[in-house]
A and B are shown apart, each in its own frame.
Chain A
Amino acid sequence: MTLTAVRALPSRAPARPGGAPRRRPHRHRRQDALVGYLFIAPQALGIVAFVLVPLGLIAYYSAHEWNVLAGTFRFVGTENFERLFTDPQLGGVLQATTIFSIALVIANLTLALVLALLLNRRMRGVGFFRTVFFSPVVVSLVAWTIVWGFLLQADGGINGMLATIGIEGPNWLREGPTAMASVVIVQVFKNVGLNMVLFLAALQGVPHELFEAARVDGARPSTIFWRITFPMISPTILLTVIITIVGSLQVFAQIAVLTQGGPGTSTTVLVYYLFQQAFQFGKFGYGSVLAILLFLIVLVLTIVQWMLRRKWVFHEN
């Protein structure tokens, strides 16, 4: 590895304009290499200590029955992995995770796109509304979640407002379907501003002539959207889909504050289940297996993103 890299260098050097680095080659380069290692050392060592070593430890833990509360630690081979298939709760957990991610992606991206399309115009006040829609992004996540939790109480603000117009609202956070919907909605309004800004940037990158040409040809707005706008911003759509799904797999504070995974396991997403198993029930071995599962899902999604990027996206800058 080291040798090939060194040998590769001289061939690269003449390609640089001017060819200045040819002079004073050796001393400088070796010194440079040392400086390079020093510069990346904090980051590289941090990754080794806080990412690679922990990943290795997960693999090690996952082969052990380790109950912190009971103080047991013994080698069990693949038993923890087999538990994945017999765990009666895991099906519900994966279902909740899937529902949450899909609902979030659909709601978030639709709203983000609608807001971006509405704001993609020169008009007084557009900047103000952009700020308004973005503002929850910078509000502390737990603070935001607590307010929504308060609003969604059985006797909270939302049901209070509904009651003034004669509607009796449900106990949002304590009934299965509405609990899931609530967690999704809280998350959508928190972060949709980010995707909206990304879409706005993408929309502004679409050449104006395309729209004008289509309009001259008498295309309808819906045709223009599906035939021009949508394909032109498809790279951004794909990117935001993946970012949003990966982000949705990491939703923890919202669940912990709003529903604690309930009622039943209806809002117990994988991350929250992992936390429960490891830190509430003290099962570090099984918790590690769940961590591997989470890691694999994120990995697969990332690979899918790379592959789709090559194949599916019409337009890439």
Chain B
Amino acid sequence: MRTETAPDVSRASRRSRRRTLSYLAFYATMTVLAVPFVFPTWWMITSSFKPITEIFAFPPTLVPENPTIQPFLDVFALQPFAQQYWNSAYIAIVVTIGTMLVSSLAGYAFARIQFPGANAIFLVVLVGLLIPAEVTIVPLFQMFNGLGLIDTHWPIILVSTFGAPSVLTTFIMRQFFLSLPVELEEAARLDGLNRFSIWWRIAMPLARPALAAVAIFSFLHVWNLYLEPTVYLQSTELFTLPVALTRFTDAYGGALWNVQLAAATMTAVPVLLVFIVAQRQFVEGLAHTGLKG
């Protein structure tokens, strides 16, 4: 693919033509490869504007022939979708802010403060990385059942903020604080600032890149949770979006595809738009968390 320039300087035009060809080959290859990544999203959005009669039309229509917004209206008629949207949004925001606080506090302490047992406690906390959520779902269900918290949002909020999912972000924060020069904090300390102020006023502002990664990771994690809400939630009006998306069926249990896809579009597109605006933070943040995981 890469044009290897033969020592053939006299035929510059032929060389540039070969380069153009290799550019074309590159872009053609990439475009073909991009189809399975882009087409599903395209199909999701366009199909949600199709009337049910067109949804299985043959040949398939890439652009709706009779566009309608009826599927989007049906989404709200069939389920309390606005309520479910709010559920997902507020849970994700609460957990994201909570995780940022929990992880940066713990990460800072593990990186900077010397206290008896710190290493042992850190190792115990790291055990959380080894335990997939699916392993502990049965006892967690029983524990929350005993506390009368089944069919509330509490299990999702509490476990996501304080439990295993926040261990990875604590680890990220610890690594980041370790990489910061300690002199700034020591100077602040000599000026009489206490640990809490140093953490909040000096370390946290410096930790913005790491906090952004933590925020993106934990927001997407909670926004996409499926097993947990499936297990913990029973009432339709308490559902989060991923659970709600799977419940758009007609009276006979058949899937209402265009309505379901309209709901999926409303779930996926806002996050995609934020991603397009802040893609560098997303890519770096998620790659970073992925690497440490």
Contacts and interface: CB of A to CB of B under 8 A. Distances in A.
A298 B132 contact: yes
A51 B113 contact: no
Given A43-B106, A61-B139, A35 B33 contact: no
- Determine the main DSSP class of B at the interface with A: helix
Interface string A89-110: 0000000000000000000000
Interface stretch (B66-74, B162-170, B205-213): B162-170
Contacts of B131: 51, 55, 295, 298
A39 B113 contact: yes
Interface of A: 1-2, 5-6, 9, 12, 20, 29, 32-37, 39-40, 42-47, 49-55, 57-58, 61, 115, 118, 121, 123, 125, 129-144, 146-148, 150-151, 153, 155-157, 160-161, 163-164, 185, 189, 193-194, 197-198, 201, 239, 243, 246, 249-250, 252-253, 256-257, 271, 274-275, 278-279, 284, 287-288, 291-292, 294-295, 298-299, 302
Interface string B152-192: 00000011011110110010000000000000001000000
Contacts of B142: 57, 61, 284
Which of A43, A49, A141, A157 gathers the greatest number of chain B CB atoms within 10 Å? A43
18 contacts: A12-B114, A29-B114, A39-B109, A50-B158, A52-B124, A54-B140, A118-B29, A135-B37, A146-B261, A148-B40, A155-B58, A157-B43, A189-B36, A197-B283, A239-B291, A252-B134, A291-B135, A294-B134
Interface of B: 1-2, 23, 26-27, 29-30, 33-34, 36-38, 40-41, 43-44, 47, 56, 58-60, 101-103, 105-106, 108-110, 113-121, 124-125, 127-128, 130-143, 158-159, 161-164, 166-167, 170, 186, 194-196, 199, 220, 223-224, 226-227, 230-231, 241-242, 245-246, 255, 257, 260-261, 264-265, 267-268, 271-272, 275-276, 279, 282-283, 286-287, 290-291, 293
Contact of B287 (A6, A160, A201): A201
A279 B106 contact: no
Contact of B130 (A1, A198, A243, A298): A298
